[in-house]
Structure 1
Amino acid sequence: MISTQAGEIPPGKKVNDRYEIIKVIGQGGFGRTYLISDRQRFEEKFVLKEFLHSHTNTKAMAKFRELFEREAKVLHQLKHQQIPQFLAWFEEEGKLFLVQEYIQGKSYSEFLVEGKTFSEAEIKQWLLDLLPVLDYIHDRGIIHRDISPDNIIWCSDRQKPVLIDFGVVKEAIASVTHLPSSPLTRVGKPGYSPPEQLYHGQSNATNDLYSLAVTALVLFTRKDPSILFDTSNFTWNWQNYVNVNNNFAQIIQKMLANAPEDRYQSAREVISALEKLNLTPTLSPDLPVIKTSGTILQPAAKIPGKPIAFTCLATILIAGVVVFAKNLGGLCNIFNNCPVENNEEIAQVNDLNFTEVYNQAVAQANAALAETPQSIAELAEIHSQLDDAINQLENLPAQDEELLISYQNKLQEIGDRLTKEQEAEKKFSAAEALAVEADRQTNVATTISELEAAQRIWEAAQTKLDEIDSDTYIRENVKSKNAEYQEKIAKLADLVRQKQLQSAPSVEKLVPEQPTPKPLLDRPFSPQETPQPPRFKEPPELPVPPPSEPVETRPNGCPDFC
């Protein structure tokens, strides 16, 4: 169990009557990392690792010191230009220290933050640069167990990526404190480490190959592993974001196989498979495998701006190396291959720590529940810490059932929220993928039907965003993208209307032309001539018939014939 009461060593203080503390440059579950200057080497800078413990039991402390010294010797044997060098170890005031090489450089996570991108050929070369390092440590019975963009840096003076943060000593401490799966002693990172390592503590060379492949995908796609990995069917869906050579994709997929036996069994096998691909980029020898906007970057020391001094330290300690050779007795119990007498000795030490385990597990659970996560990564970390604390409590002989049930209920709530956030991330990524295709079609569309097709894809992307709940961590991103997609849809609708108007027949063409009336005269009227309206001709006079002779009438007025 690690003490949280020990204070930092202040700047300016001398340690071991030789090293002067400059500043703290890192802190983890097992201790702190300092930048120091060596008074006996003309103030040359190094890295000092301070390891904390809370052992008051003499036997436990003796075992702790024994394993620490044993694993320090293992680190001292590593001599490789892509691994920072171990220099010394010492004990002072009940604390154990390691001194390591300090190298300036940039981590690959820093390159990602800066917006750098990597091509398929560059990722292949990056793998070919790091796989020999894994082959070197695996041949010596060492597993790194914590490969990620944070733990690989580009060292400009060596022109190679350097693998840092080994954890041989960390495993030694975990084996003594009986907390191999605590977040304070956890080896590996969720998302990057394979399931058998995170959940069962199993370790072999294929663990590192798995983590290296995940790291390559993160660099290639610029997506977090939580987005690339589908937890519903335990598959990696990274090919939705990049187009790659099929043979190269098959190599990556084999490195990512869920079952260790289905992966490549050694780094040499992966190297052999990669060398058969014709993807090697043409690069100048002094350039790293990094590019942005199609331009290869200069090494970190040549990048404009102030260079960042990164502890290329190998923090060969805080992260995850396990030595699995049988002759490394303190760690062999992880693989259940220790001699019987050694297991009994470790068990006697562990018997002294049940109370410590209980107190630490409860503190760990309460600390996790007190956190206020602001991202899916933080939520996943809280879930992992609480789950781990519950597992520790369940394995103890005496349990507080009521407390344990309350933790389990909280774990279920956090798990449900995590699932919701992961679904939101997937929908957001799907919307982004549709938007990329919609933007491509918009740029090449020339006809009304093509513009309408692009508009429909934008609308589909917007529909995906509308499916995301408004209380997720990515709500602001969703809101911003929604406004952007609405603007795109409106512009396309305007373009479609303009195209329709341009293609419609003119109204004037629909009315037949009327003949122009001819003038009454071929010349203008003179002043004396006044146009008169047309006059109708009077009808001819009819002849008047002659008068008829009078008719005789009778006195009563009746004609003679009546």
Structure 2
Amino acid sequence: MIRTTIDGRYYITSFLGGGGFGTTYLAEDTQLPGNPVLVVKHFTPATTDPKAEELFVREAQTLKNLNHPQIPQISKYITENQQLYIVQEFIPGHDLKEDLRPGIPLNEDFVIKLLQEILEVLVYIHDQEVIHRDLKPSNIRRRETDNKIVIIDFGAVKKIITQKLGNQQNNLTRIGSPGYAPKEQQQGKPKFSSDIYAVGMIGIQALTGKDPTNLELDSQTEKVIWRNYIKVSDEFAAILNKMVEPHWNDRYHTATEALAALAQISSTPTPTPTPTPTPIPTPTPTPPTPSKNRHLFLKIAPVGLMIIVGVIVFLKRPIPECDGKLTTYQNSEHNLNIDYPQCWEKNTTPNLTNGKVVTFRKPQKNVSLIIMIPEYSGTLKQYQESREKAIKRDLESSQVIDRNEPTIAGGDGREIIVTSEDNGEKIKNMYVMTLRGNKAYLINYTATMDDYDKFLPTVEKMIESLKIN
């Protein structure tokens, strides 16, 4: 399949992965300017199994009806030489499974927010009367441009058509992944709450660091046994337990219900201001004659003030990441070296669309530094202008608040500081760029507004260490 063209238009460039019913590739659209990258899902039906064509038609038609910014858009579905293909939007980023490392539990607040992000997209899916049927970390992506959750791979979705099919629905294809698919789904009778079960298991996996297939079920109740692995609040544990109840009717029936339950434990009530009493007027006293004690106070007050200021500065000083321990990332293909904190996570999965070569992340924080090296033949000024257009297009409520012209790796550079929003949370971005030959070197530092200044000294040291040979 590599280096072949589908439908006279989509040129297959690389293999992405394979599953039970098909294979996924990256392809270029040769009929659009710039040859944008798309995903092509190659579907080979078994001649003796009518479920193959059923699955293909269902996926294509359902995806075409879904219209949400956090769901890949389907471009076309094709039948060619008795082979079936779906062409859809490619989402630059990384799968959630990269964030859920075996044996590494994540904190409760982080997991609550993660589940809220997933459920917010799932609300739309359920509102369209669609069940995903294969929610798992590898089918949930963290989009690179705005760090938002994107739900992918609707190869297993099912339109709710019970009234039309009657008893025939029992014959529909059974799909799901071990550990994430509840009992009724394994029996070919998925419900909306089947997706809720999968999201709950993702939450338990994130909290415990354990793969769902390694968690035991109670022999009598069939409930998931997980609380002995991690300390968690009773309120959050109760929500997770309800999400993964063995019987579908005992769970939250829709994503909206589960999202509302999480909102109750994640929202902080606004404190009521204490009324200020009206002061009682008092007679103005006659100023006393200055005493020796007062003269002493005036002498030592500035010293005390300096001590207080010094303590405040000390407490607010930047604390070195990982106790100042650094390691070096080297990329010989792009002649690049950069130091980064030893305790930060590194992801070197390349992205063909935007030229991403490496991502550094602060564990359990919405803090990242991404290096992208796309091909580029224009000027530095033109590249800066193109980036600002992309920022305006991709980031919610974006606003450029500062521009600078620093020296980057010994060459001319540009810096853009941008504020934006992500699900109501204020985000701050720094884009630093320089050119070498026919390549652009783009560094994107992203953090919440609260964390941006805290980690900025670390990021500045990383950028100062950058070498492009």
TM-score of the superposed pair, with normalisation by structure 1: 0.44
Which of 77, 98, 107 does residue 119 from structure 1 map onto? 107
Cα offset for 1:68? 4.2
Structure 1 Cα separation of the partners of residues 126 and 91 of structure 2? 24
Q: Select the residue among 25, 43, 47 that pairs with 2:39.
A: 47
> Per the alignment, in what secondary structure is the counterpart of residue 112 of structure 1?
coil
Relative distance call for 1:14 and 1:257 in structure 2 (3 A) is same
Alignment of 1:411-490 (within 5 A): none
Alignment check: 8 A CA contact 2:135 2:198 kept = yes
Q: Is the 8 A contact 2:129 2:159 kept in 1?
A: no
In structure 2, what is the equivalent of residue 247 of structure 1?
235
Q: Deviations over 1:415-448 (max 9, x none)?
A: xxxxxxxxxxxxxxxxxxxxxxxxxxxxxxxxxx
Counterpart of 2:129, as a letter, is G
Aligned to 1:227: 214
User: CA shift at 1:45, angstroms?
Assistant: 0.5
* Cα separation, partners in 2 of 1:179 and 1:277, compared to 1, 3 Å: closer
User: Counterparts of 2:363 and 2:119 in 1: how far apart (Å)?
Assistant: 25
Higher relative contact order (CA 8 A, sep 6+): 1
**SS of alignment partner, residue 97 of structure 1:** strand
Q: 2-side partners of 1:66 and 1:148: how far apart? A: 23
Match of 1:542 in 2: none
Q: Provide, for residues 276-324 of structure 1, a one-character-per-residue CA deviation record: whole Å limited to 9, x for no partner.
A: 11467xxxxxxxxxx988651534xx257999xxxxxxxxxxxxxxxxx
Q: Is the 8 A contact 1:48 1:99 kept in 2?
A: yes
| 1:180/1:20 CA distance change after superposition, 3 Å | farther
Once the two structures are superposed, residues 28-74 of structure 1 have per-residue CA deviations (whole angstroms, 9 ceiling, x without a partner) of 22221111011111211101111112328xxx87x976874465222
What's the Cα RMSD here? Answer: 3.4
CA distance in 2, matches of 1:204, 1:69: 20
Q: Distance in 1 between matches of 2:158 and 2:11?
A: 25
CA distance in 2, matches of 1:68, 1:294: 39
Note closer, same or farther for the CA distance 1:193–1:43 as it changes in structure 2 (3 Å cut).
same
Conservation of the 8 A alpha-carbon contact between 1:49 and 1:99? yes
Query: Does residue 67 of structure 2 align to residue 79 of structure 1?
Result: yes
Structure 2 residue runs without a partner (length 5+): 269-359, 375-469
- 5 Å matches for 1:40-439? 40-41=31-32, 42-55=34-47, 68-69=56-57, 71-113=59-101, 117-168=105-156, 186-198=174-186, 200-233=187-220, 234-278=222-266, 296-299=365-368, 302-303=369-370
- Distance in 2 separating the partners of 1:271 and 1:297: 21
The SS at the match of 2:87 is: strand
Report if the CA contact (8 A) 1:124-1:279 is conserved. Answer: no
Q: How far did residue 246 of structure 1 move?
A: 1.0
State the one-letter code of the partner of 2:41: K
Return the letter of the residue paired with 1:228: L
> Is contact 2:131–2:157 with CA below 8 Å preserved after alignment?
no
Partners of 1:170 and 1:29 lie apart in 2 by 17
Q: Distance in 1 between matches of 2:225 and 2:52?
A: 43
1:148 deviates by 1.2
Secondary structure of the equivalent of 2:71? coil
Q: Structure 1 residues 217 and 292, CA, compared in 2 at 3 Å: closer, same or farther?
A: farther
Q: Structure 1 residues 169 and 40 mapped into 2: Cα distance closer, same or farther (>3 Å)?
A: farther
Would the alpha carbon gap of residues 66 and 127 (structure 1) be closer, same or farther in structure 2, given more than 3 Å must change?
Answer: closer
Q: CA deviation at 1:194?
A: 0.6
Q: In the superposition, relative to structure 1, how do residues 305 and 215 fare at CA in structure 2: closer, same or farther (>3 Å)?
A: farther
- From the superposition, tell whether residues 96 and 254 of structure 1 become closer, same or farther in structure 2 (CA, over 3 Å): same
SS of the counterpart of 2:84?
strand
Structure 1 residue matching 2:99: 3-state secondary structure: helix
**Stretches of structure 1 lacking an aligned partner (at least 5 in a row):** 1-8, 281-290, 308-562
How far apart are residue 231 of structure 1 and its match?
4.8
Write out per-residue CA displacement over residues 74-95 of structure 1, whole angstroms, 9 at most, x where no aligned residue. Answer: 2111111211111111111111
Quick check: 1:120–1:279 contact (8 Å CA) kept in 2?
no
CA 1:210–1:17 in structure 2 vs 1: closer, same or farther (change >3 Å)?
same
Paired with 1:89 and 1:115, the residues of 2 have a C-alpha distance of 40
Matched pairs, number: 275
Q: Secondary structure at the match of 2:78?
A: strand
Question: Matched residues, percent identical?
Answer: 37
- Tell me if the contact between 1:115 and 1:292 (Cα under 8 Å) persists in the aligned partners: no
| Larger strand fraction of residues | 2
How many Å apart are 1:179 and its aligned residue? 13
Give TM-score scaled by structure 2 length: 0.53
Following superposition, the deviation at residue 264 of structure 1 comes to 1.0
The letter of the residue matching 2:365 is I
Q: Which amino acid aligns with 2:183?
A: P
> Per-residue displacement from partner, 1:1-31 (whole Å, max 9, x unpaired)?
xxxxxxxx1x222211111110221112222
Q: What is the aligned partner in structure 2 of residue 18 from structure 1?
A: 9
- Alpha-carbon deviation of 1:168? 4.7
- Displacement of 1:230 after TM fit? 2.6
Q: For residue 43 of structure 2, what is the amino acid of its counterpart?
A: F
In the alignment, is the contact (CA less than 8 A) between 1:46 and 1:101 conserved in 2?
yes
How far did residue 118 of structure 1 move?
Answer: 2.2
With over 3 angstroms needed to count, the CA separation of the structure-2 counterparts of 1:167 and 1:65, relative to structure 1, is closer
Change in Cα spacing, 1:211 to 1:66, as seen in structure 2 (3 Å) is closer
AA aligned to 2:38 is F
